[in-house]
Amino acid sequence: MPELPEVQTTVSQLKKKALKRAFIDVWTDAPKLIKKPKSFDDFKKKIKGKKIKDIQRRGKNIIFKLSEGQSLLVHQKLTGHLLYGRWKEGRWQSEEEKHIGEDKMNQYIHLVFFLDNNREIALSDLRKFAKVELASDEEIKKELEDLGPDPLKISFQEFKDTVRKGKIKQALMNQKIISGVGNIYSDEALFRAGIHPLRKVKDLKKKELKNLYQELKRILNKALEVQGTSISDYRTPEGKKGEFEKLLKVYRRKGKKCFNCGAKIERIKIGNRSAHFCPHCQKK
C-alpha cells in the first residue's frame, strides 16, 4: 500500500499538472470503487464542471479541493496509483510523451477523469480495492478527523506524547496514532534505530524513542527525494517507479544477509501484519 512518501509524491506531481483544471467527464468499469455518492451516475453528474483548487495529503489520503465547496477523496489502498497523461494507441502515456505505458502496473485502468486540457487523471488498480468519494469539504474533513498527526510535522515531544503504548511496530502503523506510516517505513526506521519491532513503547528509553523519531523523519524525507518505493504496484503519476527500493535494509529481505552484521533478516507476524528485522542489530 502506498505510504506517506508515495502519496506525497503523487500529490506534489499532480499539483504541478492539474491545478485549476476542470473535470469534464469521468469513466469507470468498476463502479464499486466509488463509495460516495452511491450511484456512479450521480457521481458523474456532480463532478462535471468542478474545478481543482488544491490537492492535499492527509495521512495516506489524497484530497482534491474542488469548487463549490466539494472535495474528491482518493485512497489508493493496496494496489492503486494515480496517473496523469492520456491514452495513445491503446496504451497509457505520460504528459511528456516519453514514457509509453509498457509497464504492466500502469495498465489496470479502472477509473479515468477527463480534464479540460485534453489530459486525464486515471486510477490503475490491479485488485480494485481503492476508495473514491465525492462529498462536501466538511464531510471529508470529518471523515478524516480521527487520523493521527503527520510524522513529518510533529516535534519530538508530540511524537513522544502520541506514541505511548503497545508494541512499537503496531504503534507506528496505527493511523489513529501516526498517519501515513505503514510496513515499509516502520520496518526501515526501526532497523536504523536498532529497536526490535516487538519492543513495548513503555519499555523504550527516551533516548531510544528520540532516535526512532529522528530516523523515521530521515527515512521518510529520503524516500520523498527518490519518489517512494516501487517493490510491487506503486508508480508515480508519470508512470515511473520510485527508487527507494535500492535503499531498503530489511523490508522484504527475509533470509538475506544484514548489511550491518551479516545475520539473516527475519520476518515475523504481529497481529495481521508482518515485520522484517535483524535479530542481531535489533535485540528485544
Q: How many CB atoms lie within 10 A of CB 39?
A: 11
Beta bridge partners of 187: none
Respond yes or no: is residue 2 known to be catalytic. Answer: yes
Measured distance CA(91)–CA(283) in Å, rounded? 49
Choose the catalytic residue: 3, 120, 133, 238: 3
Respond yes or no: is residue 102 known to be catalytic. Answer: no
Q: Are strands 266-270 and 273-277 parallel, antiparallel or unpaired?
A: antiparallel
Specify whether the CB–CB gap between 235 and 124 falls below 8 A: yes
Measured distance CA(278)–CA(263) in Å, rounded? 7
Respond yes or no: is residue 138 known to be catalytic. Answer: no
Measured distance CA(179)–CA(59) in Å, rounded? 5
Q: Write the burial class of residue 139 (CB in 10 Å: 0-12 exposed, 13-18 middle, 19+ buried).
A: middle
Looking only at Cα atoms, what is the longest distance across the chain?
59
Backbone phi, then psi, for 194, in 5-degree steps?
Answer: 70, 30
Measured distance CA(183)–CA(200) in Å, rounded? 17
Measured distance CA(10)–CA(110) in Å, rounded? 18
Q: Given the C-alpha cell 489513529, which residue does it identify? A: 176
Choose the catalytic residue: 2, 5, 151, 197: 2
Q: Which amino acid is at 164?
A: R
Choose the catalytic residue: 149, 167, 273, 279: 273
Choose the catalytic residue: 44, 58, 60, 169: 60
Answer positive or negative: Cα dihedral of 183, 226, 84, 36.
positive
Q: In which element (H, E) is residue 113 found?
A: strand 109-115
Respond yes or no: is residue 273 known to be catalytic. Answer: yes
* Active site residues per annotation: 2-3, 60, 273
